[in-house]
Amino acid sequence: MDKAELRRRIVAARERLTDPRGSATAIRETLLDQPWVQMAGLVACYWSAGTEPATHGLVFALWKHGATVILPVLQPDNDLDWAVYDGPDSLALGPRGLMEPVDTRRGVDTIRTAALVIVPALAVDAASGIRLGRGGGSYDRALARVGPNVPTVALLHEGELIEGVPAEPHDLPVSMAALPSGIATF
């Protein structure tokens, strides 16, 4: 199956989810119990939209526990700039309909300094950790800037950790996937 068809299938399956909020709570609690999450001083995350596993509670909890959380700002060329999340009032609707932090943009290389990187995915290959994104290449570029020993975690609903995610040379793996049932490590 090619990437476009796999994306269509997963998006359709997400539309049929009956309790996406329950998934988000389980993922958040699992992540917050991990020492490597608790010790991360700078966390790159994202503000979820649509049927993605919700990150709003996770971002807020990380921030309340003292982490500096940076969120992406999508650039016209689909690269990701980063800005600091400073509470719920620090977000505004961006030009592409996504919530973005209003803080000063820190630059695309800011992700290099993160101690933990949490990324969206439609699916992750169970053997290799290759993630399937939406197709814009934004997070592949961001992941290419992350240090080699920094945990990179994709958030998934159950059933999205699969065999045989199609990969191209620019596709980069994540080191972990967080699902409601737990964390898979690659």
56-64 helix and 20-32 helix, angle to the nearest 10 degrees: 30
| pLDDT tens sequence across 7-62 | 999 999 999 988 767 789 999 999 999 999 999 999 999 999 989 999 999 999 99
Among the listed residues 103, 122, 119, the one whose alpha carbon sits nearest the alpha carbon of residue 174: 119
Question: What are the φ and ψ backbone dihedral angles of 168, each rounded to 5 degrees?
Answer: -120, 165
Place of tokens 């790159």: 44
Among the listed residues 117, 161, 163, 159, the one whose alpha carbon sits nearest the alpha carbon of residue 140: 117
Do the Cβ atoms of 31 and 39 come closer than 8 Å? no
| pLDDT tens sequence across 58-102 | 999 999 999 999 999 999 999 999 999 999 999 999 888 899 999
**What is the model's pTM?**
0.95
14: CB partners within 8 A, 6+ apart = 20, 50, 51, 52, 157
CATH class of the region 3-180 = alpha beta
Do the Cβ atoms of 145 and 87 come closer than 8 Å? no
Structure tokens that stand for 43 in this block: 């966390």
